[in-house]
Chain A
Amino acid sequence: MSEHEYTPKSKAGKWFNDRLPLLTLGAHLTDYPTPKNLNYWWTFGGILTFCLITQIVTGIVLAMHYVAHADLAFASVEHIMRDVNYGWLIRYIHSNGASMFFLAVYIHIFRSLFYGSYKSPREVIWIIGLMIYLLMMAAAFMGYVLPWGQMSFWGATVITNLFSAIPLVGDSITTWLWGAYSVDNPTLNRFFSLHYLIPFLILGLVVLHIWALHVPGNNNPVGIDIKKPSKDTVPFHPYITIKDAFALLVFMIIFAGFVFFTPNVLGHSDNYIPANPLVTPAHIVPEWYLLPFYAILRSVPDKLGGVILMFSAIFILFVLPWLDTSKVRSAVFRPIYRQFFWILVIDVLMLGYVGAMPAEGIYLVLARVGTIYYFLHFIVVMPVVGYLEKTDPIPMSISEPVLTGGAEPSLARKANDKV
């Protein structure tokens, strides 16, 4: 991968590097040739790494004080909030951190959709990324159960009950997941165990995600293959590290705003009521980042159908690299796809909105329209537009916007300016 061989200067360094080439790896990461026209949408990879580390560190500290027992969990969270030194800060960072993590991952995913980063030769990066996203959703769901408030309990009940839709063995599977005949103490215990495990699985996949990225190198806003290293690239350090640091700090300001000034605005007030199996909340809603899928689930009158559709909404993304037939990566040069991209963004936002509303009347209609469009986008729009679309002329390189023909010489600059 590294373009030139690295030799440590010191004798000790050379001795060690011959046995475990960590220094070579470090040199590779420092020199890693990166397209120089990456815009700020590309800074979310670094931001996401920060989010993961923050969740792991705060989570480990929380686990030192938390008690995973149905009778004690709620009280132990209040113990953290009141009696543990800076417990309130650690918990609010962790709970808001989950939301910030999803905010960043959604921007990261939509960036990939806009600039065609999932396309050849980066399919494996994309698929590993989706696996990370799936694990993130599992971790977030189980984490939300741990405080054992009303939304924890009833959210867990709704989601685990989805598995009972499976024909024949559904009920047995649900009982097996619960470890009891309803969501109860065994469920809480295993969710805690898995909630602690999953972040480390994610960490492992992140290493693979970055490894896979470093094979072909970064995509870029123009979406063309570039020679590496060349005058189209800059070394990762210091150019990209400083830019990522700047973007991360802006992100941290927003993060801190939530933690210190509105720490509960993204949660549901019902989760400060201790879990009560005898009282069902008026509206059971998941956290905001799962709402689009919740809308898809509820848009189908049949339980099994809803479950299948909800999981399909995620799994269809795994075959996206093969559904997209366009030769051009970046939507900057795809005038038709670009419009459909923004319609998809609006569609997903709308699904998220109706997911928070009661499944009746106009909301149910909107959820159904939104769900149908979501699947149409991937199954019909992506392949068809790829075939029929007349793309704009593409520059030969980032530095020299030499066009393969046609008019607008400003196109390459446009891609550059988009920040």
Chain B
Amino acid sequence: MIKSNIKLLVLSFLLLISLRPLQSAEMVEPIKVDWSFKGLTGTFDRAALQRGFQVYKEVCASCHSMQYLSYRNLGEPGGPEFSEQEVKAIAASFEIEDGPDSQGEMFTRPGKPSDKFKSPYPNVQAATAANGGAYPPDMSVLVKARKGGANYIYSVLVGYEDPPPGVTLDDGVYYNKYMTGNKIKMPNNLMDGLVEYADGTESTVDQMAKDVTTFLAWAAEPELEERHRTGVKVIIYLVLLTILVYLSMKKIWSRIDSEV
């Protein structure tokens, strides 16, 4: 009786859920990519992270900040895992404002691994003004801040198209198949061969989009690999303990003539 009721319940709920596609039919679903960091044991592709960092540094970083990351993160386990020397060199290539010194003056110095990523603009207003009134969002947690996550970011990067007939665009506005509302103020910055990859990989638009998206996915969830690893261990432990407790329960309840 209860079982049939639960079936009825599940059925009617599924019916309700199935109404959903009708409602969002007009939205273009992002391209599904088989990311290496998907799934229960997913990890990042180290080489892709390093290439992605290069794309970020040479292309994205001229407008987008990444204020919650530090240069030291680039050398930490589970990330791009640059060597200590490389991390120091990357940090030192940026001039960081520090101070005030003992005279009360601000000064600049080469970056250290403990510094946060240098932002391209001093504040949100400056970034907005320099980009035609659209603030280029900080990319630290961008992958977590968009429905569709990594798939969505990748899709937008490769989703630039000529506008369909009948759609007119203002100056400085571009047509993108996957962007919500299809209008985006970020121009299509990726073109084949734009970046010269240190590891010799051919820098097609698709390759760069995948690499930089992988980098952004790590930036948003630097704990992902450790989380997956720990999670597998925790669940194995819990399952074993559950079995032991179940057997203990059966044993204890066998003392009386009652089912458990």
Contacts from A to B (Cβ < 8 Å): 36-37, 75, 78-79, 81-82, 88-89, 92, 234, 238-239, 242-243, 245-246, 249-250, 252-253, 256-257, 259-261, 263-264, 269-270, 272-274, 282, 338, 342, 345-346, 349-350, 353, 357, 362, 414, 416-418
Contacts and interface: CB of A to CB of B under 8 A. Distances in A.
Interface of B: 1-2, 5, 8-9, 12-13, 16-17, 19, 23, 40, 67-69, 73, 137-138, 140-141, 144-147, 149, 180, 220, 222-223, 227-228, 230-232, 234-235, 238-239, 241-242, 245-246, 248-249, 252-253, 256, 258-260
Nearest to A81: B223
B223 A242 contact: no
Nearest to A253: B238
13 contacts: A78-B141, A82-B68, A89-B227, A238-B252, A242-B245, A253-B235, A263-B227, A272-B141, A282-B180, A342-B9, A346-B8, A349-B16, A353-B16
Instruction: Give the interface SS of chain B, mostly helix, strand, loop or mixed.
Output: helix
B260 A417 contact: no
Contacts of A345: 9
Nearest to A271: B145
A239 B253 CA distance: 7
A338 B149 CA distance: 43
B238 A256 contact: yes
A205 to B, nearest CB: 29
Leading 8 A-B pairs by shortest Cβ distance: A260-B231, A272-B145, A249-B242, A88-B223, A78-B68, A272-B144, A272-B141, A242-B249
Given A269-B145, A362-B19, 5 more contacts: A37-B258, A78-B68, A88-B223, A250-B242, A260-B228
A82 B2 CA distance: 47
B5 A243 contact: no
B238 A252 contact: yes
A83 B239 CA distance: 31
Given A239-B252, A264-B144, A36 B258 contact: yes
Nearest to A263: B227
A119 B12 CA distance: 30
Nearest to B237: A256
Contact of A260 (B19, B67, B144, B230): B230
B248 A242 contact: yes
A238 B256 CA distance: 12
Contacts of A257: 231, 235
Given A78-B140, A249-B245, A270-B145, A256 B68 contact: no
B231 A350 contact: no
B158 to A, nearest CB: 21
